[in-house]
Amino acid sequence: MSEPILGSIDLRTSQGAFHGSRHALLRKGLTGLPGFLLMGATLAPVAQNWNPTPKDNFPFSYYPMFSEKRSDTYVVSYLVGLDGRGNRHTISYSFAGSGGLNQTRRQINRLIREGKADTLCRSVASAVAKEVATPYSDIVTVQIVTARFRFADYFAGNKTPMTEQVRASCRIARGERTTEVGP
């Protein structure tokens, strides 16, 4: 006849298999633990959003740049060039200073605050006067402008500012000295 079921099982082998599966389970748990901890470290700072005085600190940031309430409008200063027909052309920030966009934008804002928009205008006009590529070669006047934009309108395609103030204006005389026009 057939031998009994219990007699056909080698207890040494089955205990080893149990020990092996327990070891595999432990290994999987230890492998997943760093991922779980990283996920917790990423999500934990979000609780700062409900704190009356949130603390933002590297590497545990609560991402205030995404969660902070913003105004409906934004004020920005920038460079405008007018060609001989009166068409407007935005002049690259790189004509106003060396460095990245944000660094140069801060320099432009500082010069305007200090009442030196005319100095900036002459400097930009001098640099634009040396350009031979269009649209820069067609520009006859440089303006330093501060404008207020409504976010919803701007991102819907309406790039016209709500308000605009010309801080300085300079004519470009190619091959001659640049002259200030006035705001």
Q: pTM score, two decimals?
A: 0.62
pLDDT tens digits for range 117-144: 999 999 999 999 999 998 999 999 999 9
pLDDT at 19 over 90: no
pLDDT tens digits for range 26-67: 888 788 888 888 888 777 777 777 778 877 776 666 666 666
- Looking at the chain, the number of H-run helices and the number of E-run strands are 6, 5
CB-based contacts of 74, cutoff 8 Å, min separation 6? 148, 149, 151, 154
C-alpha dihedral (38, 41, 47, 48), degrees to nearest 10? -140
